[in-house]
Amino acid sequence: MNPTPPAGFRNPRAQYDFKGRTCSITGVGSYLPQRVLTNAELEKMVDTTDEWITTRTGIRERHLAAADESTSDLACQAARRALEMAGVTPEQVDLIIVATITPDMPFPATACLIQHRLGARRAAAFDLEAACSGFIYGLEIGQQFIMSRTYDTVLVIGAEKLSTITDWRDRNTCVLFGDGAGAAVLQNRPHSHGLLTVCMGADGAKAGLLSMPGGGSRCPATAESVAAGKHFLRMEGKETFKNAVQAMCTAAEESLRRCEIDIARVACIIPHQANRRIIEAVRERLGATPEQMFVNLDRCGNTSAASVAIALDEAVRCGRIRRGDLILLVVFGAGLTWGAAMIEW
């Protein structure tokens, strides 16, 4: 028998319609590398000031992985913490999805390297690339596998070592990014809380706003491509900013509409941590209060696919999110890509 949806919900898709099958987040984990790079240190590297960075972005410091630490190292740490919270052994994991734009190498997939390191012998594994939106894309894909009864336990990881594709001479971008990883365990929990809806979108016409042109089949690595800086992330900041606000609002509003709930009922909104001014613009347009927003970008900077995954873990572990709360994750990234996920915790 299907459980009765909580009052005020119209569940648009699966959760209460699949004979009691739900997709719940049963564990979260994150990892930030030890080394912290402050704005004061950046002042010595490029022509910038702590004042400019904090007022224009809200970022005060970011974590950087060590030279011998790769994306999979960060991801494994976050994954172990999520598995521990969920009470799941690596052998119980059916599928590992890793969202990243900084894989350990072009192939094999970083997810396979993580599968081996965790000892998740039964798990299928693949990477997905949706830039800063990757974790939400991963949640939706994981949910589909669970609701279709293909798998019972899916590990979704967002992990980045953006410091390797950052041009440390370019003040327009180098002050923005950080390294880190976040993970979530998705499981079927009959008659329980879970993912209510996930929205995803993309607009490839604006791919040029934010990209790393070198290293793929269009522009393979050569001495010339390296000299021309084509293996660094490039961004048209102002246009990206405008698109981020628009797309995040659209995705958040679509989630609210699908679930037929008012923004005031959402206990915690976790936006992509790119810029405090973007978060503020989204908050205002949605009609949310500052108290509803969860922000950690002052300490982490923009960690792309890891961003909302890290923030979700921090919000859960510090008690900001409680059982039964409605949580709204909202993301935006290169592609362009965007998305939102409404979760009943």
- Residue 275 interacts with ligand ACO (CB under 6 A)? yes
- Catalytic residue from among 23, 76, 112, 132: 132
Do 190 and 152 form a contact (C-beta atoms < 8 A)?
no
Question: Which tokens is 303 given?
Answer: 């960690």
- Residue 102 interacts with ligand ACO (CB under 6 A)? no
Q: CB of residue 45 vs ligand ACO: minimum separation in angstroms? A: 10
Of 199-218, binders to ligand ACO (CB under 6 A) are: 210
DSSP string, 63-100: EE--TT--HHHHHHHHHHHHHHHHT--GGG--EEEEE-
- Residue 334 interacts with ligand ACO (CB under 6 A)? yes
- Residue 131 interacts with ligand ACO (CB under 6 A)? yes
- Residue 48 interacts with ligand ACO (CB under 6 A)? yes
Question: Which tokens is 258 given?
Answer: 């699908």
User: Which member of 11, 26, 30, 57 binds ligand ACO (CB under 6 A)?
Assistant: 57
Question: Which residues, 6+ apart, have CB-to-CB distance to 219 below 8 Å?
Answer: 213, 225, 230
Pairing of strands 268-271, 326-333: parallel
Q: Which stretch binds ligand ACO (CB under 6 A): 134-142, 181-189, 212-220, 327-335?
A: 327-335
Number of residues that bind ligand ACO (CB under 6 A): 24
Task: Report the distance separating Cα 115 and Cα 119, nearest Å.
Answer: 6
Task: Report the distance separating Cα 78 and Cα 105, nearest Å.
Answer: 19
Q: Is 302 a catalytic residue?
A: yes
Catalytic center residues? 132, 272, 302
**Site residues for ligand ACO per CB under 6 A:** 48, 52-53, 56-57, 131-132, 171-172, 175, 210, 237-238, 240-241, 244, 274-275, 278, 302, 304, 332-334
